[in-house]
Structure 1
Amino acid sequence: MKIETLSTFPHMYDSVMGESIMKRAQACGALDFHAYDLRDWTHDRHRTTDDDPYGGGQGLVMKCEPIFEAYDDIAAEGPKPYTIFLTPCGEPFDQGLATELSAQERLLFVCGHYEGIDERVYTLADRCISLGDYVLTSGELASMVVIDAVVRLLDGVLGDEGSAIDESFYDGLLEYPQYTRPASYRGMDVPDILRSGNHAAIEKWRREQSLLRTARLRPDLLETANITEDERAFLLSLHGEAF
């Protein structure tokens, strides 16, 4: 997959893309990443990418000309990129959307800054995404979250191909509790079932814990989670109410 970003602070990606899973994804050839500097498409000596908003008001608005010109040049090379804007007006980002984006051949993230982006630029968007009901300083930070969630789904990136399947939200539930050595620490013991060697019993315990954790912490997820009628009955028997 090819992933590109267009922003006024391209070096914000250096540390994230040069470490851990993102570094591995590039090393194994699963990811081709490039961060473009929007200022390369400006034409004044100050390399201006923003201006005062029409109608007045506080803050600055990102100009449309540099973004359109940059897009034209970037899109002209190779297949047309699936273009994403990070904005509070976008659809909520979740694991399902991450999976959908991981099937794309080429992604381009256009990252806003300042008070906002000239509305005309959104005509370039294939998708507008929001991370949640809060405001960040810039779109670069939000795009890093989306990129990480997408790239780790690419074949060969995680190494253990089962890792992504066991994680939270894969089937709509939160992940079960995890433990490692030592078996006992400060009066807290690893559940005996996990040390039993009975893999069928362990899988059953993990599934039940995943159901219970979701019911306790994110009951809203149970409405659309991939669970059976027997599992709903299991939750009902423990909590005395439907989920």
Structure 2
Amino acid sequence: MRIDVLTLFPEMFAGVFGSSILGKAQDKGIVSLNTLNFRDFANNKHNTVDDTPYGGGGGMVLKAEPIFGAVEHLLEGRAGSEAGERSPRIILMCPQGRPFSQEIARELAAEEHLIFICGHYEGYDERIREYLVTDELSVGDYVLTGGELPAMVVTDAVVRLLPGTLGNEQSAVADSFSDGLLEYPHYTRPAEFRGWKVPDALLSGHHAEIEKWRRRQSLERTLARRPELLERAELTGEERAWLDGLRTERENSAKESR
């Protein structure tokens, strides 16, 4: 996979892209991570990339020319590329975008080339949205100074799903949200620490019992912390009945404590 990030601050990515899992994925040749300063594609002597909005208002707006120029520079030569090669996903990071999720991370991990556009200032010239990008993504209902941190978040979530990135391929499979639920609790040695013991099921060596314990812990944790996820999760009839009983038990307990 190739990932290109259009940004006014490429230096922000050096440590993130060169460290930990992302750095190792590049060393293995699994992914190529690149930054491009779109200021280099400004069409004026002062290399300005923003201007005041038509109609007035506060703040500055990113101009269309440098963004289009930078993307077109990245796409040069694709006309002669091999037949069947997919066009890149061009992703605008902005608060108005589709909320990013593990499902979208899996979707993007199947692509060959991603291009992220990181904005600053008040916003983007609308023609960037209309005629250039394929996707708009948001990492949450809040506003950041720019799109750099969100682009790092999405890149990390996508790259760790690429085959060969993680030492244990099962790590990504068991992550929170991978099956629509929050992940079960983890424990490691020692079996007892300051009087707090590891659950017996995990020490039993009985794989079926361990999987059953983990699944129920995942369901219980999701019910307690993110119950809305259960509406879309694939559950068996037995699991739904168990959750109904757990809800009733909690409701009764809450009534008794009043």
What TM-score results when the alignment is normalised by the length of structure 2? 0.90
Amino acid in structure 1 at the alignment position of 2:35 = A
- Give the equivalent residue in structure 2 for 1:18: 18
For each residue in 1:115-174, what CA deviation from the matched residue of structure 2 results, as whole angstroms up to 9, or x when unmatched?
111111112111111111100111011011111111111010012111111111111000
Is the partner of 2:223 in helix, strand or coil? Answer: helix
- Give the equivalent residue in structure 2 for 1:218: 226
Amino acid in structure 1 at the alignment position of 2:37 = D
Aligned residues: 241
Alignment pair present for 1:92 and 2:99: yes
Give the whole-Å Cα distance in 2 for the aligned partners of 1:26 and 1:19: 10
Q: Give 1:17-56 correspondences, 5 Å limit.
A: 17-56=17-56
Amino acid in structure 1 at the alignment position of 2:23 = K
Q: Give 1:78-117 correspondences, 5 Å limit.
A: 78=78, 80-117=87-124
1:202 CA drift (Å): 0.9
- Give the equivalent residue in structure 2 for 1:192: 200
Of the candidates 159, 164, 170, which is equivalent to residue 172 of structure 2? 164
The percent identity for this pair of structures is 54
Q: 1:77 to 1:150 in 2, by over 3 A?
A: farther
Q: Which runs of 5+ in 1 are unaligned?
A: none
For each residue in 1:73-126, what CA deviation from the matched residue of structure 2 results, as whole angstroms up to 9, or x when unmatched?
111244632100011111111111111111111000011111111111112111
Alignment pair present for 1:121 and 2:115: no
- Give the equivalent residue in structure 2 for 1:64: 64
Amino acid in structure 2 at the alignment position of 1:216 = A
For each residue in 1:20-48, what CA deviation from the matched residue of structure 2 results, as whole angstroms up to 9, or x when unmatched?
11011111111011100111112434321
Which is greater in Rg?
Answer: 2
Of the candidates 241, 245, 257, which is equivalent to residue 233 of structure 1? 241
Give the whole-Å Cα distance in 2 for the aligned partners of 1:36 and 1:29: 20
Of the candidates 166, 183, 186, which is equivalent to residue 191 of structure 2? 183
Give the whole-Å Cα distance in 2 for the aligned partners of 1:214 and 1:58: 42
Q: Which runs of 5+ in 2 are unaligned?
A: 79-84, 250-258
For each residue in 1:37-74, what CA deviation from the matched residue of structure 2 results, as whole angstroms up to 9, or x when unmatched?
11111243432111111222211111111111111111
